[in-house]
Structure formats: C-alpha cells, structure tokens
Amino acid sequence: GSEQSLRKWRIAFYCDKSTVNTNRRVTILDTTLRDGEQTPGVSFTLEQKIEIAHQLSDIGVDVIEAGFPASSDVEFETVKRICAEEGIRPKICGLARSVKADVDRCIEAGVDMVHVFIPTSEIQRTYTIKKSHAEVLAITREIITYARSKCDYVMFSPMDATRTEPSELIEICKAADEAGTTIINIPDTVGVSTPSMIKPLIAMIRENVKCKIDVHCHNDFGLATANTIAAVEGGADQIQVTVNGIGERAGNADLAQTVMILKSIYGIETNIRTEKLVETSRMVSRFSQIAVLPIQPVVGENAFSHESGIHSHGVMANPGTFEPGIMTPEMVGHRRRLKLGKHVGKHAVRQMLEDINVNPSDPELDMIVAKVKEISGRGRKVTEFDLFEIAKIITGSH
C-alpha cells in the first residue's frame, strides 16, 4: 500500500541505489544450536536441542547448524539424532575444522551440509594453527575438494575474515570457490567490523567468486545486526543468526531483529514465519536460561508497550503514531500493551477499565488516574489487578 511505496521512496532517497531491489530474498542459517550453545554457561539437553530444531523448522529457517560433530561423542550423537529426526525440513549443517577426520565425522552423523573453517587472519593463523598464508591456501583447496567429494553442500569460512589482509582473503575465497564450495561464509569473528566496512567487503568478495555468499557477525561492539544488514546491502545471499542473539562472548546477530529489518524496512523477504518469533524467543530463553530484556527489540516485553499518556492516546487512535507501523505486534506474535505508571494518561486508563466492564464517571476517572500516578510515583509497580482494585474502591463497584 501507500506505506510500502513511501518506504521504497525513503530508501531510494537516502540509501545507495543498489539497496533498492524489490524481488530479493535472503536465506537464513540459524546457528543457535552451535554458536548459540557456545555462549558461556549455556548447555542444551538433547531433548531441548530436538525441540529447538523442530521450532526452527516450523518458523522456516533454511539451514540449521546443529553442532560440531568432531568436538565430542555426545555432540556427534546429538547431531546424528537431529539429522535422523522426522519432520525437520531445513538442511542440517555440521561444523568441521579443515581436517578430513572432522569432515568424515559430519558425514557419519548424516548432515546435509559440511561447514569447514580455517583461520585466515595473521593473528589467528600464527597463534592458533601456526600456519602461513600459503599453507592455509593449500589446505583450503584440499579440504574443499575432499568435502565436496563427500557431500553436495559445502560451506567454507575463512575465520576472522574481517581482520584478514584483503588480498589474502580474496585469494583464499577464490581458491575455495574454484575447489567447488557451495557457499562462502564471511565471519566477523570478533565483531570488529562496522556497517560501512562490511558492505564493501562483501561486494568485493562478490566480484571475485561465483558461489553464494553468507555472513556471520558477532556482537562485541553491539553491531552484529547492523553489520548483517549492511552485508545484505553489499550482496550477501544468506545470513547467519541465533535466536535472541546468543553465542560466543556478546553473541551473534539476532534472528528476530535481522528478519524484521529486512522485511519491514527493506522489503527483502525470507522464509521466516515471523508471527512465531516471540514464541521462538521465549523457548530459547527458557532453555538457555538467558532472560530477554524487556527493552529487547521486536520480542521484548516492552517492544509494543506504551505508558506515557501522549503515546497511549496516540496508539489508541492509530498504532502507527508511536510504533513503526511497518512492524506490528501481530506480525511477530506479540501483543500491544498499555502500561500503568507515573506517565499514564486518562485515555489509556479508561480503555483498560472499559475492557473489564468498569465505566467510571469523569471525576471518578480523575481520582483513579491520580491514585495510579501517586503509587507509581513512589516507585511501586501498578498492575492491571491493582488498577481494578483502585477502581472498585473509588467507584464503589464490586
């Protein structure tokens, strides 16, 4: 409708023209079960992993990274169970270091896609695998050729890509492409990229390889979601995310935020059934025991809550006044809530009372509002139940 054409107009006016591409789709690789489980303190049980895998399937992710089979026998058995599970539609991916034994372990577990990685930045090459660029290049060619001989789908990650010398990164990506990788993932392993750095980086890789490009952003500076979106602007075909943004250190790009930014602001579709985002967030919060902040975008308790009189009055007349409008609570499986507090207005209180069939007179309403403001002004929380009790006393109703 008109909001959509306004949005396109705004994007065309402010952004790089390459961003405006109406028919684009982006696929989603969810790594909640792999990078997400690497969150310090998080450990899912087998049953929880299977339940999460079904949920990810139901909401429409394209690829599930189920784990790192070579890391332990328990991990191997878990990935194997997920691969064997009936009714899971996405491709199942397993992580592997660039050694044949790791690739073999993924194949034995029954994955659809092997994700091989190798450090490419000087600091990681030197201090983790003690290899030169030339050696990494040779290993890349060999391992991709091997993995492709065992599996139709191979993803290759030059780890720490954003801190890798650009000419070396291009050389390695070209080698992986020539050796037959299906997709190259560009990881911002320690989250040091910015949107204006990663967009041209992805565009540069795009110019040098034929295969698809994916991106995996960490949140060390709080830029994981912004960088992921910028990577899509630069031409990424697939993005890696986790539910609630869990993952190593400060986590990864958040599924709900990235999908809704692409859908609502850019008009770029994914296969995600967005109305299940809140439900998915709650499940992973429960299993990971990591609480979602009330102010968390999209899925947080307050994402569509209004307390101030001006805002509540506005959204009662038209929700688009003080909400994005292009993203509604219904779109993400949320509810709009009017909250009680010291900024509450008369219209919101009247609406809340009418919803429970209490119809105070104007002077009674003034007294009810004054009481709510007085209690919350003392720093106390006022619930809808408290409001009902206050109204009962003031109106003399039962």
Minimum distance from residue 117 beta carbon to ligand KIV (Å): 4
Q: Which stretch binds ligand KIV (CB under 6 A): 104-112, 184-192, 230-238, 342-350?
A: 184-192
In the complex, minimum distance from the CB of residue 329 to ligand KIV, in angstroms, rounded to a whole number: 33
DSSP assignment of 98-158: SSHHHHHHHHHHT-SEEEEEEE-SHHHIIIII---HHHHHHHHHHHHHHHHHH-SEEEEEE
In the stretch 289-308, what mask flags binding to Zn ion with x, by CB under 5 A? --------------------
Q: Using only the alpha carbons of the chain, give its radius of gyration.
A: 25
Residue 381, helix vs strand vs coil: coil
The reply to whether 76 sits near ligand KIV by the rule CB under 6 A is: no
Coil/strand/helix, residue 159: strand
Query: Look-up: residue for tokens 């091997």?
Result: 146
Six token digits for residue 155:
């993803």
| Cβ atoms of 172 and 122 closer than 8 Å | no
Q: How far is the CB of 35 from Zn ion (least distance, A)?
A: 4
Which CB atom, from 35 or from 233, has the smaller least distance to Zn ion?
Answer: 35
Count of Cβ atoms closer than 10 Å to residue 13 Cβ: 8
Q: Which does 159 bind (CB under 5 to 8 A by kind): Zn ion, ligand KIV, none?
A: ligand KIV
Between residues 97 and 339, which has the closer beta carbon with respect to ligand KIV?
97
Which listed residue (216, 311, 334, 347) binds ligand KIV by CB under 6 A?
216
Residue number with the smallest Cβ distance to ligand KIV = 187
- Looking at residue 120, its amino acid is T
The DSSP symbol for 247 reads -
- Provide, rounded to whole angstroms, the least separation between the CB of residue 216 and ligand KIV: 5
Q: Is 156 in the site for ligand KIV (CB under 6 A)?
A: no
- Answer with the entry of Zn ion, ligand KIV, none that 49 interacts with (C-beta below 5 to 8 A by kind): none
From ligand KIV, Zn ion, none, which one binds at residue 117 (CB under 5 to 8 Å depending on kind)? ligand KIV
Number of residues that bind ligand KIV (CB under 6 A): 9
- Site mask, ligand KIV, residues 80-119, x = CB under 6 A? -------------------------------------x--
Is residue 35 a contact point for ligand KIV (CB under 6 A)?
A: yes
Contact status, residue 251 vs residue 39, Cβ threshold 8 Å: yes
Of 163-171, 182-190, 300-308, 320-328, the window that binds ligand KIV (rule: CB under 6 A) is 182-190
Query: Would you say 97 and 136 are in contact if contact means Cβ atoms under 8 Å apart?
Result: no
> What tokens does 72 get?
């332990």
State which of positions 21-80 bind Zn ion (CB under 5 A): 35
Write the burial class of residue 141 (CB in 10 Å: 0-12 exposed, 13-18 middle, 19+ buried): middle
Per DSSP bridges, beta strands 337-338 and 305-306 are parallel
Residues that bind ligand KIV (CB under 6 A): 35, 117, 157, 159, 185, 187, 189, 216, 218
